[in-house]
Chains A and B, each alone.
Chain A
Amino acid sequence: GAVVSQHPSWVICKSGTSVKIECRSLDFQATTMFWYRQFPKQSLMLMATSNEGSKATYEQGVEKDKFLINHASLTLSTLTVTSAHPEDSSFYICSAGTLAGGSYNEQFFGPGTRLTVL
Chain B
Amino acid sequence: QKEVEQNSGPLSVPEGAIASLNCTYSDRGSQSFFWYRQYSGKSPELIMFIYSNGDKEDGRFTAQLNKASQYVSLLIRDSQPSDSATYLCAVKSAGNQFYFGTGTSLTVIP
Contact = CB atoms under 8 A, between A and B. Distances in A.
Contacts of B44: 44, 93, 109
A111 B41 CA distance: 10
Sorting the interface of chain A by its residue count into under 10, 10 to 19, 20 to 34 or 35 or more gives: 10 to 19
Contacts of B41: 91
- Most chain A CB within 10 A, of B36, B43, B96, B102, is at B43
Secondary structure call for the A interface: strand
A114 B54 CA distance: 39
Contacts of B36: 109
B87 to A, nearest CB: 12
Secondary structure call for the B interface: strand
A60 interface: no
A93 B92 contact: no
B88 A106 contact: no
B25 interface: no
B42 interface: yes
Contacts of B43: 91, 93, 109-112
B46 interface: yes
A52 B103 CA distance: 29
A33 to B, nearest CB: 12
Contacts of A111: 42-43
A34 B96 CA distance: 13
Interface string A97-108: 000000111111
Q: Which A-B residue pairs are the 10 nearest by beta carbons?
A: A43-B102, A112-B43, A109-B43, A93-B43, A109-B44, A44-B100, A106-B49, A111-B43, A43-B103, A106-B46
30 contacts: A34-B98, A43-B100, A43-B101, A43-B102, A43-B103, A44-B44, A46-B98, A91-B41, A91-B43, A93-B43, A93-B44, A104-B96, A105-B32, A105-B49, A105-B92, A106-B32, A106-B34, A106-B46, A106-B49, A107-B34, A107-B46, A107-B90, A107-B98, A109-B43, A109-B44, A110-B43, A111-B42, A111-B43, A112-B42, A112-B43
